[in-house]
Amino acid sequence: MNATIEKENENVVKIDITIPAEEALKAYESAVKRFAQYVNIDGFRRGKAPKAVVERHVGVERIKQEAIESLMPKAMSDVIRENDLDLVTQPYISDYTFNVGEDLKVVAKAETRPEVTLGQYKDLSVEVEEDEIPSDGVEKSIEALLKQNSTTEKVEGRPSANTDIVVIDFEGTANGEKIQGGAAKNYSLDLGNSNFIPGFAEQLVGKNAGDEFDIEVKFPEEYHDEKLKGQPATFKIKIHEIRETKIPELNDEFVAKVSKFKTVDELKEDISKYLEEKKKDNDRINSENKVFNKIMESAKVEIPESMIDREVATLKEEYIERLKSQGLSWEAITQLKKEEEIIAAMRDDAQNRIKNSLVLDKIAKLENIKLEQKDFENKFQELAAAYRMPIPELLKQFGGNAAVLNSISQQALNEKVRDFFMTNNKVVFVKKK
């Protein structure tokens, strides 16, 4: 076999392969026999039809394609190895000339990995703003815990306050038409934490149960519905009930009821430890990200549009699957936000993902960073904990999926490279500005 490589543009190579006539003929004859084995031909048992009959029944071109498909994996593998090609796509056949009894000539094309120009990635000194534990962190955490365990009671004999919950009917109109999705019955609205249109909840303060009235509001200029942007609207309101929130008292009895601790002091000590650990985690994550981003900023790589397009397609597929898991659809989302805006954001994300991957791979190669058995074991332990399933069950589900295993391997390698960054660069913590 002979092969020549020609660079067509920045990252596409054309591979001309010539396979000797004898080898091509042997592959053709084998293809004829394979077709004879599984194609039904009237008047012949399987595998017994003569070559000429198989050729007429199947078609010579189809047999040639079968022969080429059987030859290409090894031929391409040899070309890639002998020419040290670093490909990012599987080679595809763009043309071939196959006259049985003559040399087989195949033209294939493939994309090569874009060239990465690295900046400094070792011996950097990076300043990172140190995370701070709020002085009232423990108190705020306890306050949140009390709110989580709060109850509500019906209010009698007083108007609504801005900390109450009101149970209402409402119906909205704008431009003389009913607002789609702008009506509800017996809706519980927290007046102190409302995400309704600005001014809506505020106008329900000071009202009594049984009151019926209209309120006037204006939709924000950046509202998602084009017809309602900046438009005035009227809502008919009926208040059925007013409820106030009752916060439990912080004491040892409450602590024992909602936690594994027996006293308030034990709970506060545990919260304090949690806040310390959270600070350490935040400092570690911020440090890793700051070092990583500085290294990526100094690296240069020209990413072909074809690579970006493929990554965008992958991101879109992942996004659609996430939407399906939430009971949503791509069509529904594109009614709220323009499709071109979503795709533009995906292109930015795709470029970042590709650049990061290419830079990490190059550094891993330069620094001889490789995965070991323990790296895979650690990664599967993490995944088993995340998916809450035993490792054997996880392997059963993922073990046969080459794409998933490749993704897991890439994640594990990326983590090793990021660990290398933290070992070989200096982080200086400074106070938050």
Interior/surface letters 147-177, b for 16+ CB within 10 angstroms, e for the rest: eeeeeeeebeeeebeeebbbbbebebebeee
Whether 190 maps to a domain, the answer reads: yes
Q: Which of 113, 128, 159 is the last residue of a domain?
A: 113
Q: Which of 98, 113, 128 is the last residue of a domain?
A: 113
**What pLDDT sits at residue 376?**
82
For the chain, the domain total comes to 3
Q: Are residues 32 and 108 in the same domain?
A: yes
Q: Are residues 174 and 297 in the same domain?
A: no
Whether 14 maps to a domain, the answer reads: yes
CATH of the domain at 33: 3.30.70.1050
CA distance 54 to 17: 28
Q: Which residues have a Cβ under 8 Å from the Cβ of 305 and sit 6 or more positions away?
A: none
Asked if the model's pLDDT at residue 164 lies above 70, the reply is yes
DSSP category for residue 251: S
* 254-276 pLDDT per residue, tens: 999 999 999 999 999 999 999 99
Asked if the model's pLDDT at residue 10 lies above 80, the reply is no
* 208-218 pLDDT per residue, tens: 999 999 999 99
Mean pLDDT of 198-220: 95
CA distance 417 to 2: 39
- Average pLDDT of the residues of the chain: 92
Q: Are residues 169 and 298 in the same domain?
A: no
CA distance 133 to 432: 12
Contact present, 123 and 257 (Cβ < 8 Å): no
Higher pLDDT, 247 or 390: 247
Residue 234's region, left for phi above 0, alpha for psi from -120 to 50, else beta, is beta
Beta partners for residue 3, in sequence order: 17
**What pLDDT sits at residue 7?**
86
Kindly give the interhelix angle for 402-424 and 373-387, rounded to the nearest 10 degrees: 110
Kindly give the interhelix angle for 60-82 and 51-58, rounded to the nearest 10 degrees: 90
Enclosing domain of residue 196:
151-246
Q: Which residues have a Cβ under 8 Å from the Cβ of 11 and sit 6 or more positions away?
A: 88, 111, 112, 113, 114, 304, 307
For 204, the token pair is: 């329900």
CA distance 139 to 272: 10
CATH of the domain at 239: 3.10.50.40
Q: Are residues 77 and 25 in the same domain?
A: yes
Q: Which residues have a Cβ under 8 Å from the Cβ of 407 and sit 6 or more positions away?
A: none
**What pLDDT sits at residue 391?**
81
In this prediction, residue 394 has a pLDDT band, given cuts at 50, 70 and 90, of: confident
In this prediction, residue 399 has a pLDDT band, given cuts at 50, 70 and 90, of: low
Q: Are residues 295 and 356 in the same domain?
A: yes
Mean pLDDT of 8-24: 90
| pTM beyond 0.85 | no
**What pLDDT sits at residue 386?**
84
Q: Are residues 301 and 426 in the same domain?
A: yes
CA distance 327 to 198: 28
Beta partners for residue 104, in sequence order: 19
Mean pLDDT of 160-181: 94
Whether 138 maps to a domain, the answer reads: no
CA distance 116 to 361: 10
* 88-133 pLDDT per residue, tens: 888 999 999 999 999 999 999 999 989 999 999 999 999 999 999 9
Higher pLDDT, 407 or 269: 269
Whether 121 maps to a domain, the answer reads: no
CA distance 249 to 266: 16
CB-hemisphere CA count at 13 Å for 98?
25
Q: Which residues have a Cβ under 8 Å from the Cβ of 289 and sit 6 or more positions away?
A: none
Least reliable range by pLDDT among 75-79, 181-185, 406-410: 406-410
Asked if the model's pLDDT at residue 150 lies above 80, the reply is yes
**What pLDDT sits at residue 368?**
95
Q: Which of 190, 214, 246 is the last residue of a domain?
A: 246
State percent of the chain over pLDDT 70: 100
Closest CA to 372 of 399, 407, 409, 401: 409
CA distance 273 to 360: 35
**What pLDDT sits at residue 179?**
93
CA 217-218-224 angle, 5° bins: 125
* 63-95 pLDDT per residue, tens: 999 999 999 999 999 999 999 888 888 899 999
Whether 13 maps to a domain, the answer reads: yes
In this prediction, residue 19 has a pLDDT band, given cuts at 50, 70 and 90, of: very high
* 25-60 pLDDT per residue, tens: 999 999 999 988 888 887 787 778 888 888 888 899
Whether 188 maps to a domain, the answer reads: yes
* 351-393 pLDDT per residue, tens: 999 999 999 999 999 999 998 888 888 888 888 888 888 888 8
Taking the chain, what is the end-to-end CA distance rounded to the nearest angstrom? 66
Which position has the token pair 């009237």? 42
Q: Are residues 78 and 6 in the same domain?
A: yes
Q: Are residues 284 and 358 in the same domain?
A: yes
CB-hemisphere CA count at 13 Å for 114?
20
Helix (H) or strand (E) holding 48: none
In this prediction, residue 345 has a pLDDT band, given cuts at 50, 70 and 90, of: very high
Residue 159 to residues 191, 206, 247, 278, Cα–Cα distance (Å)? 13, 5, 20, 42
Q: Are residues 270 and 412 in the same domain?
A: yes
**What pLDDT sits at residue 309?**
92
